[in-house]
Amino acid sequence: QVQLVESGGGLVQAGGSLRLSCAASGSILNINAMGWYRQAPGKQRELVATITSGGSTNYADSVKGRFTISRDNAKNTVYLQMNSLKPEDTAVYYCNAGRTYRGTYSPTYYWGQGTQVTVSS
């Protein structure tokens, strides 16, 4: 089983920064990528960023140039550095273990518990 634990959320002012962490443990069999999703109340869960085992990254248009996904293999952890935060970034952020094929990320049933990010005007 894969366990994912997010941390790093909080309350910040617009223009501020946060770094989210997702610590993974357990078997990573058949998993070649990690993704960050976010979901605001009443909204669909949105794919924010992905990173493959080879280090390739992809971002939603809404966060390009502001967010950076990275990984630390030694710590078995992925990060989401969020800069220039906007109120519309407010959501619960979840990490997921999955697979990427032809540029499309497929989530698995391995989800973290979520961490709240709130950006005030």
* CA 56 to chain CA mean position, Å: 14
* CA quadruple 89, 93, 97, 98: dihedral sign: negative
10-13 and 115-120 strand pairing:
parallel
DSSP states of 58-102 as a string? EE-TTTTTTEEEEEETTTTEEEEEE-S--GGG-EEEEEEEEEEET
Place of tokens 């390009």: 64
Distance CA 94, CA 35 (A): 8
Share of the chain above pLDDT 70, in %: 98
| Structure confidence at residue 32 (pLDDT) | 87
Assign 75 a pLDDT band (cuts: 50, 70, 90). Answer: confident
pLDDT digits (tens, 9 = 90+) for 4-43: 999 999 999 999 999 999 999 887 667 889 999 999 999 9
The band of 88, judged by pLDDT with boundaries at 50, 70 and 90, is: very high
Relative to beta strand 91-101, strand 115-120 is antiparallel
On whether the CB atoms of residues 22 and 78 are closer than 8 A, the answer is: yes
